[in-house]
Structure 1
């Protein structure tokens, strides 16, 4: 049946299970916006900046673990999507970005001019390094094929974003859906050759094994399989930043997040291990520190869907498993009962000792942001979604929030984009408005990056709760300036100023609360349960720090503030590195 091509796109998305599309209006995308508005089963959510739309689509996709969609007009609209596209690419989030483009007859093509059509921009060439697939559609009859191909690529293998650039005359062209050819779906290769017997042998010989869980476990929808394995093995489990919400933190064999800003007890646990099963984590330098010193006496087995990540060796003798995490865990779970492994009670007790000696929360006072995060986690509930911005607030939450089963913690990992939490929270809310509360935690710097989306909260009465950790500085960089630039606070304290966020939110028509004292934290629980948007501003000292913190060229077990050398040595079951350093250096 003949129809306008933009109507076909809207119907295609709805049939695919998409319920919300995020975007910002513009001339080159008006046909598609009109088509979206005319459907009852698909809702267009107009943000106030295209970056907000890109992040909202990502939040929707992260919570659903399926496709998110954002649209933008040509030129500046398309380029404003870039940070969100990069975020989805680096964190393997399946998103479809649809951009408008000038009419095909206005496109400059191979002409040696900069531009023919107004706002004409070659967005496809710009985004190719940060997408799995990007193409400009020049034939209306290719629309079904390209939509199916793009979505297949986005949601298979190592997931990620795709982009279709659609000129205006293509959007308004008429097509007959009976004449459109589809994309021949290819069976997904979820399996690769690996020796489960070899892995079982390594695990059976281990005295101090550790499981390192990464974000790939959740991306492959393998949480239940992982929990089954964890229950059977009963060995210490640590996580990467992106794996923070995979395993219930209330379990006694959970020992925190590793890495440069990881929990000291987590780093001590993995540093002293003799076997590591790393699941769906790329083991970048922020996790390992200096790679040559990372878990130096441990055998390493890495499981990842991306062969390119496995080719980047951390240890010369590591064993790489190129496979879908779900398939691997299913195979492993069938064999675990046959494992003749020793009891790990003494090893678990050692890890518990680390956890007891080095808790993430110091003083039970509002001056300790880790305490605030710990208190926040006590008043969240099953199915709640916590969205973190980038900066000190992200690390405090990652260190000290206790994430229970079925809660989500949405984090910008690889891109590390400030301005992430508010629009991502909006997208996460729309993915399932009836399930759980949604919180956006941000610093004073990050919130200002996409503060305009407060208008969307007010307009649609979205009950997202924004918690601003306001230290009136860019704390992460300020700390670097103290360490490496003799305390020259350029653009972090000097030439930087944070506004009164309560006044700004009030101007948008949003209820606000300003918290300055520890006893006022008790007011948070009823606020979080409210059915309206609220901004909660928590006042912090300007000189806040994220500790523990790993300095350059130190092994991950040796974080700042440095332990006395004899205390560090007493924690080590493997040979300490740098034991010749004096206590004065500590």
Structure 2
């Protein structure tokens, strides 16, 4: 703060963002943030990225934060602008992504406060009250002298403990006031740091290590908390040392590499059958940074890993043991936990390699492959792709081939739908590659804005989007943002001409009545749409066409944006799938009862 003179509050806010390392602010213009936009325009060390919908701005800030590990920032005007941020704010909240959202508000002398009228000022909306359940902290800043305190508090809260979103609502008259930074009160986050309980019990870590060492069939479940805690390197090193088998939640998929020999990939509702069988039959399960959502445990959480001693490591006190009975609950940050676990593990000689258990897992993987070539954990044999039918593009095999083409440093953003599950099942993640998945909110339209945010966060990296025809249409207007900034984003639209995930649900439970997913639904020619925006496009409806497209992608340097429309059968379904009321090992298409029982070590359950 030393040496700063009196300045306009809007300029002070932008200066604070720059000092925190923010390089891009995602926004859509509006009158209530005009002062902030003007302050951004005066700087050359930070850029305003003008999106074409506030929801897209929020998703772009999320993609920026997830790709960079920094705090993302988005802005919107009062009323409709602020309300349009809410889906992205909720996505950050559910998936533990640190973002700060700045909303403009009417002048304080126009704001209704406790007045029992609906509205005083034009576009006045009490966004703080609306957003509070979806944020870690939200407040209306009514005094410019409080800006330093509130900005520092916002940054501290967004990053501490379980990361998440914060919202500051700033009236126009506050933005245009003059402030003296030397006289402004700062914020101390000491209370928050004490509250989250960062002190890790070494004795509890030793107990966890002893439980894993003493197990005959150990497993690790890798959740999204590993990535958000910055513990990826520590986890990978420890797994390489121990050779313990691992599975992943949807949010944890890019925390360990696909080619780690004992990575069994995705578990849960759309996971691999072999991964679910592994969890069902393990006798000790270490859960790292996962809240054990129903999409992982199934709708009968009491049956999840029922033969195992379960250890959960989690920063959020409310999530410890909430869904599944634990044998050991450890509250703390995952990064120091992994470092401490590696240290105490090295204090004793390594036990055996759990060979009988690993032999069984190998048999599971060979017997129940998800994709044609085995899905996660299997190497790709590209030559065999050419033997496939000229007309049928199998989605799981497509994802295997796409991952090979994109390489080991790509940032791949997934929208929401069937394509997301096919990619999460079968798209290989190796080296420094990233997979940005929409989790708890699961909002269609997430993918393209998230890819834009990632492109700004990691310039020079190959950025790819995998979307469905339905999700692509939700924020398709952001192709103009891609064109305006010439972002090197390769877009792959899997077009089955339906809202496939819901259609698959309708086929199972509504006698095939496809209301609003097939009947009543339509989509455009995405190549023509791309060309209208000035983006090159191509389409593939067969394996030879797809291979030519991907070969050209592999040979090309990172450069201009590109849209590929890939035809997928309208009847394509995500398999395997966990049905309602079944334990995770009993996935559809159902195995014969005799076959299932032969694969179980833990006693099978009665039929639901």
Which TM-score applies when normalising by structure 1?
Answer: 0.97
Deviation at 1:31, TM superposition (A): 0.5
Q: Measure the CA separation in 1 of the matches of 2:85 and 2:159.
A: 20
In the other structure, the counterpart of 2:376 is none
Distance in 1 between the 2:546 and 2:323 partners?
46
Q: Deviations over 1:199-251 (max 9, x none)?
A: 23322220000011111011110111111211221121111110000001111
Range with bigger deviation, 115-124 or 563-572: 563-572
Q: For 1:384, which of 391, 410, 430 is the aligned residue?
A: 410
Tell me how far apart the structure 1 counterparts of residues 209 and 114 of structure 2 sit (CA, whole Å). Answer: 58
1:291 aligns with 2:262: no
> Following the alignment from structure 2 to structure 1, what is the Cα–Cα distance between the partners of residues 408 and 181?
43
Cα shift at 1:191: 1.9
Is residue 539 of structure 2 the alignment partner of residue 514 of structure 1? yes
Of the three residues 530, 535, 560, the one matched with 1:532 is 560
| Structure-1 residue corresponding to 2:594 | 566
Aligned to 1:234: 243
Q: Does 1:199 align with 2:208?
A: yes
Partner of 1:20: 24
CA contact (8 A) 1:505 1:535 kept: yes
Corresponding residue of 1:501 = 526
Cα displacement (A) at 1:339: 4.2
- Report Cα offsets for 1:393-450 as digits up to 9, x if no partner: 100000001101211100110000100000000000001212x200011101000110
SS of the equivalent of 2:250 reads coil
177-186 vs 206-215, greater mean Cα deviation: 177-186
Report the 3-state secondary structure (helix = DSSP H, G, I; strand = E; otherwise coil) of the residue aligned with 2:502.
Answer: helix
The partner residue of 2:334 within 316, 322, 325 is 325
Q: Does 2:480 correspond to 1:455?
A: yes
Superposed, 1:70-85 pairs within 5 Å as: 70-85=74-89
Tell me how far apart the structure 1 counterparts of residues 269 and 21 of structure 2 sit (CA, whole Å). Answer: 39
8 Å Cα contact 1:99-1:165 kept in structure 2: yes
Q: CA deviation at 1:282?
A: 0.6
Please report how far the alpha carbon of residue 531 of structure 1 lies from its aligned counterpart in structure 2 after TM superposition: 0.6
The aligned runs of 1:21-36 (5 Å cut-off) are 21-36=25-40
How many Å separate the matches in 1 of 2:244 and 2:206?
Answer: 19
Equivalent positions of 1:73-152 (< 5 A) are 73-152=77-156
Counterpart of 2:380?
none
Q: Secondary structure of the residue that 2:198 maps to in structure 1?
A: coil
Deviation track 1:469-509 (CA, whole Å, cap 9, x = no partner) reads 00000011011111111111110001111111111111111
Between 420-429 and 225-234, the greater mean CA deviation after superposition? 225-234
The CA distance in 2 between the partners of 1:339 and 1:208, in whole Å, is 19
CA distance in 2, matches of 1:29, 1:403: 40
Q: Cα distance, 1:313 vs. partner? A: 4.2
Offset at residue 269 of structure 1 (A) = 1.0
**In structure 2, what is the Cα distance between the partners aligned to 1:236 and 1:454?**
41
Matches of 1:293 and 1:243 in 2, distance apart?
22
SS of the equivalent of 1:243 reads: helix
Stretch of structure 1 that moved more, 382-391 or 185-194: 185-194
Q: What CA distance in whole angstroms lies between the structure 2 residues aligned with 1:515 and 1:39?
A: 44
State how far apart, in whole Å, the 2-side matches of 1:461 and 1:199 are: 49
2:497 is the alignment partner of 1:476 = no
Which residue number corresponds to residue 347 of structure 1?
357
Q: Give the match for residue 431 of structure 1.
A: 457
Residue aligned with 2:336, SS: helix
338-347 vs 222-231, which deviates more? 338-347
Which SS does the other structure have where 1:545 is aligned? coil
CA contact (8 A) 1:53 1:423 kept: yes
- Picking from 505, 512, 536, the partner of 1:487 is 512
The 3 A distance-change label for structure 1 pair 558 and 311 is: closer
Separation in 2, partners of 1:506, 1:205? 60
Aligned partners of 1:253 and 1:405: how far apart in 2?
16
Q: TM-score, normalised by structure 2?
A: 0.93
Distance in 2 separating the partners of 1:196 and 1:10: 43
User: Residue 406 of structure 2: SS of its match in structure 1?
Assistant: coil
Instruction: Name the structure 2 match of 1:180.
Output: 184
* Matching residue within 577, 580, 584 for 1:556: 584
**Runs of 4+ off more than 4 Å:** 363-366
- What SS does the corresponding residue of 1:338 show, helix, strand or coil? coil
Cα distance, 1:311 vs. partner? 4.3
> What's the RMSD between the two structures over aligned residues?
1.4
Q: Residue 573 of structure 2: which of 545, 548, 558 is its match?
A: 545
Q: Gapped runs of 5+ residues in structure 2?
A: 374-384
**2:98–2:158 CA contact under 8 A, matched in 1:** yes
Report Cα offsets for 1:162-191 as digits up to 9, x if no partner.
000000010011111111111013256422
- The answer on whether the counterparts of 1:247 and 1:405 sit within 8 Å (CA) in structure 2 is no
SS in 2 for 1:36: helix
The counterpart of 2:434, out of the listed 393, 399, 408, is 408
Q: CA deviation at 1:192?
A: 3.9
CA shift, 1:296, in A, is 1.2
Residue 5 of structure 1 pairs with residue 9 of structure 2: yes
